[in-house]
Amino acid sequence: MNVLIDTNVVLDQLVRREPFYENAERIRLLSEKGYINSYISASAITDIYYIAKKELKDKNVVVKLIEKLLETSNIAAVTESSIHEALGLKWDDFEDAVQYSAGQNISASYIITRNPNDFRNSRIEIVSPEEFLSIVTDG
């Protein structure tokens, strides 16, 4: 199963943001063990780097964390057609439209986010980390 993990959930795990870290880490472990194929959009990586560096204040630590992240997550390409598609969606938040387009390109079953309202018009199922964990552990 392919899942796109939104920037906020990646950052929860990467910089250990409480009270969200535990669920984000559980999702990372599902990917590490091969139960899911997790993806992060290529455009989100720069945001993740910027925010993590601002919070952790150490470039070398952030680079190592992102390298480790990429051992268990794939990169969902953001192409020219992705950008055109995102523009055509006319969503309020262009970044979320790009994330959604990247999710479509990988045939994501879910987009995992703490901000479900940002994806109101999604045809991909939008779930919180808690909801996703409930689906994969109960289903």
Burial of 84 (0-12, 13-18, 19+ CB in 10 A): exposed
> Per-residue pLDDT tens for 20-35?
999 999 999 999 999 9
> Per-residue pLDDT tens for 50-84?
999 999 999 999 999 999 999 999 999 999 999 99
Q: What is the pTM of this model?
A: 0.94
Q: Is the Cβ–Cβ distance between 23 and 129 less than 8 Å? A: yes
Element housing 107 (H / E) = none
Token couple for 92? 């309020």
Query: b vs e for 47-76, b when ≥16 Cβ sit within 10 Å of the residue's Cβ?
Result: ebbebbbeeeeeeeebeebbeebeebbeeb
3-class DSSP state for residue 57?
coil
